[in-house]
Amino acid sequence: MLLRVFKTFLLLSLAQAATTGVTLRNHNKTDGFDGPCLLSEYTNRASCTLYNEVLLCARGFTSNWLTKARYHLISHLKILEWPGYCVNVGHLQSHFPYLRTLDIINSTILKIFKGNFDSSSKIEKITMHDLTSLWEVPASLVENMRHLQVLDLRNNSLRHMKENLIRGPPVLETVYLANNNWDCSDGGLDWLAIENENGTVRNKLTDYYQLMCHQQLYRGKPLYKVMDIIRTVKQTCPEMCVCAMTHVVSDAKGTLIPLITANCTEKDLEHPPASLPPSTTTLRLEGNKLTSIGELVQNPQYQTLMDLYLDNNSIQSVKEWEGSEWFSTFRVLSLRGNLLKQIPVYAFDKAFQGNNNIMHVFLGHNPWRCDCHFIPRFQGLLLKYKRVIRDLMDIRCARSDDKTISYVQISTMALGDVCRNSDVNMPISTINIVNLVLLMLILIVVGRFVYDWHKFRATGKLPWISSILP
Ligand SMILES: *[C@@H]1O[C@H](CO)[C@@H](O)[C@H](O)[C@H]1NC(C)=O
Ligand SMILES: *[C@@H]1O[C@H](CO)[C@@H](O)[C@H](O)[C@H]1NC(C)=O
Ligand SMILES: *[C@@H]1O[C@H](CO)[C@@H](O)[C@H](O)[C@H]1NC(C)=O
Ligand SMILES: *[C@@H]1O[C@H](CO)[C@@H](O)[C@H](O)[C@H]1NC(C)=O
Ligand SMILES: *[C@@H]1O[C@H](CO)[C@@H](O)[C@H](O)[C@H]1NC(C)=O
Ligand SMILES: *[C@@H]1O[C@H](CO)[C@@H](O)[C@H](O)[C@H]1NC(C)=O
């Protein structure tokens, strides 16, 4: 019962996820800006002011601040509203070699940096805010900075970062990353998931628990929870399989539930994996060497599966599903290309009838036994659930010498064909012989009674039987 409620919940959440929709943004090729990227490009509209040893330049640099004479003065530079796609960091370092603090703020066009800060940089603190076009700060930009202690990257549009952005600068202690568009779904942050709770990188991320994922599957989900899930999946995925999250939903308490697909296709498996990541909902076992479903039915970890693909194995019987709870809660089941000759029709009917989740069932390319005993009931089942059984065209009789049934599509075949052909071969069963004998005896008794009664009415003569009774 619990399982059923859980699945219904997952399905509802899935439907919701599907209607919310997922849009992928493509990189615009013009992102790869390849202009000259000079600090002196925007001198006309620029304005620079110096106060309390802080140089504040808006919309570019004025030419007087780009001459050698002023170098030594500046330890704190604020760049506001930078009007270009690109900031040349190499030039910045050579024009302002004594900088200790650098702020780049409210520059909505800025997308890339040219060059790197090198080990002669004295900068201790870098702040970047409101750079709404900035998707990534390359690790190489800061990797070699020997004095960098604080990196504040809040309120930009960052999606990814490389491990060395944090690990590279030797004295970096404090990193702020909140309010960005972190993309947790495409593997770009997986290195962070593997880092343990007290790892060196994790300890520097001051606002780690405030970070949110922003793209695709994980939009709006707390990054640390998603990282925990990614770690768990990596640790629990069976070694011969590939596990991927296909959806993530949250329950009423805000617990994130990942929906995981374990893909174990074509791995020569004779047995299904003994364990699966928690809340695996789809298992693909196509093209293996399974001969029975016994282990699938018994393993409690398989009970949360919604979609099970068993195509192209050597399964001969599915009797074990009779009466199992899973069988009346699954969503997709594919048994194409196995060795099934027949199925327990009544049990299938009962389970399908009670299964509110059922969406697709595939049974094609099996060597179905076409005799009068099985086919009428099987055909009835196929027609009753034709909206669910999606490959009726491929559900055909096994190859045989009898041309009238060999490879014939079962859902449309004339029952006369199969039943006439098989009756010829079928011996009259014992129970039928007994029935015939009983019928004859009844007819004899009734006939004798009618005869005696007539005779009594006509002649008044009692039947012979009454003359010998006392
Ligand atoms: C890419 O950017 C250019 C210039 O900003 C714009 O004209 C073009 O439509 C953009 N293309 C896409 C696919 O967004
Ligand atoms: C950010 O820059 C835009 C122009 O690029 C300006 O209109 C706006 O006032 C600035 N915002 C802040 C908070 O400085
Ligand atoms: C980031 O933006 C939010 C709202 O847009 C603002 O409240 C917050 O002060 C900003 N933080 C920084 C560090 O600029
Ligand atoms: C991390 O550190 C805290 C306190 O220092 C400790 O309680 C916790 O067990 C540590 N976690 C790991 C995974 O080492
Ligand atoms: C499963 O993995 C196989 C390779 O191992 C790949 O060819 C196939 O596309 C994968 N299927 C899905 C649905 O990801
Ligand atoms: C199963 O095997 C058939 C024939 O070898 C092949 O065409 C089909 O693509 C396979 N199906 C899957 C799901 O691997």
pLDDT digits over 38-62, tens only?
A: 888 898 899 999 888 899 999 999 9
151 C-alpha to ligand 4 centroid (Å):
25
For helices 375-384 and 345-354, the axis angle rounded to 10 degrees is 10
Would you state the pLDDT for residue 453? Answer: 87
Count CA atoms closer than 13 A to 158's CA, side-chain side: 25
Give, in order, the Cα–Cα distances in Å from 79 to each of 38, 51, 104, 217.
Answer: 14, 14, 5, 35
Residue-averaged pLDDT of the chain: 88
Q: In whole angstroms, how far apart are CA 235 and each of 192, 230, 231, 239, 260?
A: 14, 9, 6, 9, 13
pLDDT in tens, 425-436: 555 677 788 888
How high is the pLDDT of residue 12? 58
CA of 277 to the centre of ligand 5 (A): 17
Angle at 242 between CA 241 and CA 243, to 5 degrees: 115
Ligand nearest to the CA of 313: 6
Reference 383, options 361, 404, 408, 410; nearest CA is 410
pLDDT at 26: 46
CA-closest residue to ligand 1 atom 3 = 30
Residue 379 has pLDDT above 80, yes or no: yes
Question: pLDDT-derived band of residue 385, with 50, 70 and 90 as boundaries?
Answer: very high
Residue with tokens 């559900």: 395
Residue 29 pLDDT exceeds 50: no
Beta bridge partners of 380: none
What is the torsion angle, in degrees rounded to the nearest 10, for the CA atoms of residue 199, residue 202, residue 204 and residue 207?
A: -160
Residue 190 near residue 223 (C-beta atoms within 8 A): no
Confidence grade of residue 400 (pLDDT, cut at 50, 70, 90): very high
Is 78 or 455 the better-scoring residue by pLDDT? Answer: 78
Dihedral pair phi/psi, residue 141, rounded to 5° = -60, -40
Q: Closest Cα to residue 136, out of 283, 226, 31?
A: 31
Distance 196 CA to ligand 5 centre (A): 30
Confidence of residue 73 (pLDDT cuts 50, 70, 90): confident
Residue 17 has pLDDT above 50, yes or no: no
pLDDT of 7 reads 64
- Is the confidence at residue 288, as pLDDT, over 80? yes
DSSP 300: G
Range 10-30 average pLDDT: 47
Q: What is the pLDDT of residues 167-190, one digit of tens each?
A: 999 999 999 999 999 998 878 888
pLDDT of 256 reads 81
CB distance 291 to 312 below 8 Å: no
Question: Does residue 24 surpass a pLDDT of 90?
Answer: no
Q: Which of 128, 130, 131, 155 is the best mutation target for the ligand 3 pocket, counting ligand atoms within 8 Å of the beta carbon and taking the most?
A: 155
Instruction: State the distance from the centre of ligand 1 to the C-alpha of 30, rounded, in angstroms.
Output: 7
pLDDT value at residue 213: 93
Predicted confidence (pLDDT) per residue in 299-309, tens digit: 999 998 999 99
Instruction: Please write the tens of the pLDDT for every residue from 112-126.
Output: 999 999 999 999 999
Q: Is residue 53 in contact with ligand 4, taking CB distance under 6 Å?
A: no
Ligand 5-lining residues (CB < 6 angstroms): 242, 263, 265, 284
Residues 6 or more apart from 217 whose CB is under 8 A from it?
22, 184, 185, 245, 246, 247, 248
pLDDT of residue 31 exceeding 50: no
In whole angstroms, give the CA distance from residue 329 to residue 356.
7
pTM of the model: 0.70
Q: Give the pLDDT score at 20.
A: 40
Task: Output 199 or 129, whichever has higher pLDDT.
Answer: 129
Give residue 28's pLDDT: 46
Ligand closest to Cα of 391 equals 6
* Distance of CA 312 from the midpoint of ligand 6 (Å): 6
Instruction: Give me the residues paired with residue 361 across strands.
Output: 333, 389
Question: Of 295, 297, 263, whose CA–CA distance to 280 is shortest?
Answer: 263
> Is the CA virtual torsion 67, 68, 73, 79 positive or negative?
positive
Q: pLDDT tens for residues 228-276? A: 888 888 899 999 999 988 888 888 887 888 889 999 999 999 999 999 9
Ligand at shortest distance from the CA of 246: 5
pLDDT at position 6 is 60
In the three-class reduction of DSSP (H, G, I as helix; E, B as strand; rest coil), residue 103 is classed as strand
Residue 27: predicted pLDDT: 47
Phi, psi of 49 (to 5 degrees): -135, 145
User: What band does 160 get if pLDDT is binned at 50, 70 and 90?
Assistant: very high
Determine if ligand 2 sits within 6 Å of the CB of residue 81.
Answer: yes
Least confident of 142-146, 197-201, 234-238, 270-274: 197-201
